[in-house]
Structure 1
Amino acid sequence: MINATTLSTFSLSGLNDTTTKQRVALFSLTLLCYSVILLVNGALIVTVILEEKLHEPMYIFLCNLCFNSLYGTAAFYPKFLFDLLSKTSDISFTGCLLQIFVIYTYASTDFSILALMAYDRHVAICRPLEYHSVMTKRRVTLLVCFSRLLPFLCLAIVVIMTSKLELCGSHIEKLYCENWSILKLSCNSITMNNIFGFIVIFFYFGHVLFILCSYVLLVKSALKSREGRRKFMQTCVPHLLCLLNVTAALLFDLMYARYGSSSVSQSVKNFMAIQFLMIPPILNPIIYGLKLAQVRNSFLRLFTVSKQVKGLG
């Protein structure tokens, strides 16, 4: 039995069967993937910040969605890249808990922000005359703060409960620290951890139901006018694609972590474990950047201006 308060490190075994040649190729692909994530999310954030026309609730929420992607992926990619270059894949107990906290708050905050974006579109399309009186700067600020603080509070409780466990091992069969993997190492009952964990999971997947219900009302309202249909196709379709992207990726990882088959190859397990840290952060800003004409035009204008400035220099 190992008391969690005295445990110093965990060993991550996701890369144990990876050869040196595979590690080099995987390092190159991972570095490319992380670079793309930094580029596309950073470009959209800078575009929203610099372009005054985009200082509206929908784009502020979108900017926060991209910032959240940078926040969450920072907990995985640098450590994973380092592990690919080293012979061991160990992580400190504190670092493991911090990685769990950041990755889980990233996933939870994604759902919170997508719910805010659904609420914003509902007001814009169903109550257009009241939009500016409802979505004031003060309310938008409070909503953004709430969307970040609540996940932090929920996951702080999860991590504190995990840190109190008595563990019978320190071997984690994944590429990164994941709460369920630590719970499986517990020597004692984890009933309370499971109960609270499922409450958090159901609460955030309840956000999905809220979004879908709001879209039922949106569709009914949008069909009444040509302008409503235009707004729906322009701003709601990318939002639904992002929701589907995040929900499918995260649900797949959560369910596979608990009920997945042990006969699946390690490489497939690794991909299943990291796809929600890879696919949504890349696709979300691309979907919005391509679909929203105002974002796309603003980015192209800023890019053109920067090239002209460099040319003059």
Structure 2
Amino acid sequence: MMNYTQFSYFKLVAYVDSRLVNYVFFTILTSLYMMILCSNLLLIVVICVNRSLHEPMYMFLCSLFVNELYGSTGLFPLLLLQILSDIHTVSASACFLQIFCVYSYVCVEFFNLAVMSYDRYLAICYPLQYNTRMTLKKVAVLIAMIWLPALLIVVCTTLLSSSLTLCGNVINKVYCENFSIVKLACSSSLALNIYGLFVSAVAVFTPLVFIFYTYIRILYVCFSGCKQTRQKAVSTCTPHLASLLNFSFGVCCEVLQSRFDMSNVPNILRIFLSLYFLTCQPLFNPVLYGLKITKIRVICKNLFLL
């Protein structure tokens, strides 16, 4: 008879058992983490201390950079510790904390990108009314709407997962992932699966549909407007679209790995794809926005030339 129990720890078994390879991974990932911390912190400070950047677009960017720090910090410290460890185990509480951090990072990222598309929609489609529509109070409300619902949704997900009775404690990943734990459940996880569909609809599909709608409106104004309007749309929307596509690609790779058998894919490639949205996006965004947005680029350049 199978022993049903609540485990006090989980085993992460997707790590490569090679000391040399692990040292190489550790060096690369530590360098990436330092670059993520420095680049995102730099842009947060630049936006906060320069009054000329206290505009809605930059406030939403600041929220985005804070989320990149939050998501990468939810991953890297534990990941780096596991790489150097010979026994890849993590306590149940630390595992569920990491699940909360990773999943709330994903939700906040999609909500943030949706709010940024709304901001660009108002700026391009209603330029004369922008300042009256996008007030400081509205910016504060929108930032709260980015963070609070996402955190609440993921709290419920984590509580539901932690209450499951499990038949095993082996996770075939390099970090804790919610669906991997759900698959270990002995009892029925129908309620959690239904809630997971609801979360996916609210946190992923709804923002994507909203972003799609705003860009249809932006494109309509661009094609019917003057050359200056088209140039403004291209300069402000290109970084946002690139960020959205990069993040969506990473999340899509992770979802495919979680839901389908990927045993025919080399282990190194699976690890890279599972970490893509948690490593490349936090590094990609500050570089993309720092180089593409003129005001930020000029201020950063002046800081380094001092």
Matched residue SS, 2:128: helix
Q: Give the Cα–Cα distance (whole angstroms) in 2 for the partners of residues 225 and 47 of structure 1.
A: 33
Distance 2:140 2:304 in 1: 29
Q: TM-score, normalised by structure 2?
A: 0.96
Q: Quick one: which amino acid aligns to residue 212 of structure 2?
A: L
Percent identical pairs in the alignment equals 35
The residue aligned with 2:277 is 276
Q: How many Å apart are 1:288 and its aligned residue?
A: 0.9
Instruction: Give the structure 1 partner of residue 261 of structure 2.
Output: 260
SS at match of 1:53: helix
CA distance in 2, matches of 1:214, 1:165: 40
4+ runs deviating over 4 angstroms:
none
| Equivalent pair of 1:3/1:165 in contact (CA under 8 Å) | no
Give the alignment of 1:73-112 within 5 angstroms.
73-112=72-111
Q: How many Å apart are 1:302 and its aligned residue?
A: 2.4
Deviation at 1:265, TM superposition (A): 2.4
Can you list the C-alpha shifts for 1:146-183, whole angstroms capped at 9, x where unaligned? 11001111111111110110000111111010001101
Cα displacement (A) at 1:268: 1.8
Amino acid at match of 2:236: T
Distance (Å, rounded) in 1 between the aligned partners of 2:261 and 2:40 = 32
* Corresponding position of 1:163: 162
* Match of residue 5 from structure 2: 3
3-state SS in 2 of match to 1:235:
helix
Q: Does 1:226 align with 2:227?
A: yes
Task: Tell me by how many angstroms 1:3 deviates.
Answer: 3.4
How far did 1:2 drift?
Answer: 3.7
In the alignment, the residues of structure 2 paired with residue 86 and residue 241 of structure 1 have an alpha-carbon distance, to the nearest angstrom, of: 36
Q: Give the secondary structure class of the aligned counterpart of 1:302.
A: helix
Give, in whole Å, the separation in 1 of the partners of 2:17 and 2:142.
44
Contact preservation (8 Å) 1:9, 1:91: yes
- Give, as a single letter, the amino acid of the residue that structure 2 aligns with 1:76: L
3-state SS, counterpart of residue 10 of structure 1: strand
- What SS does structure 2 have at the residue aligned with 1:11? strand
- Give the counterpart letter for 2:282 in structure 1: P
d(CA) in 1 for partners of 2:166, 2:261 = 23
Q: What residue in structure 1 maps to residue 252 of structure 2?
A: 251
Cα RMSD of the aligned pairs, angstroms, is: 1.2
User: Where in structure 2 are there 5+ consecutive unaligned residues?
Assistant: none
**In 1: Cα distance, 2:193 partner to 2:18 partner:** 36
Structure-to-structure mapping, 1:30-41, within 5 angstroms: 30-41=29-40
User: Which residue in the other structure is 2:17 paired with?
Assistant: 18
Match of 1:211 in 2: 211
Aligned-residue offset at 1:230: 1.9
8 Å Cα contact 1:68-1:106 kept in structure 2: yes
Report the Cα offset of residue 38 of structure 1: 1.1
- Report the secondary structure of 1:278's partner residue: helix
**Structure 1: 5+ residue runs without aligned partners?**
306-313
Q: Using the alignment, how far apart are the partners of 1:229 and 1:112 within structure 2? A: 26
Q: Which residue of 2 aligns with 1:242?
A: 243
Q: For residue 79 of structure 2, give the secondary structure of its aligned residue in structure 1.
A: helix
Give the count of matched residue pairs: 302
Q: Which one is further off, 188-197 or 264-273?
A: 264-273
Structure 2 counterpart of 1:43: 42
SS for the counterpart of 2:10 is: strand
Structure-1 separation of matches of 2:162 and 2:139:
35
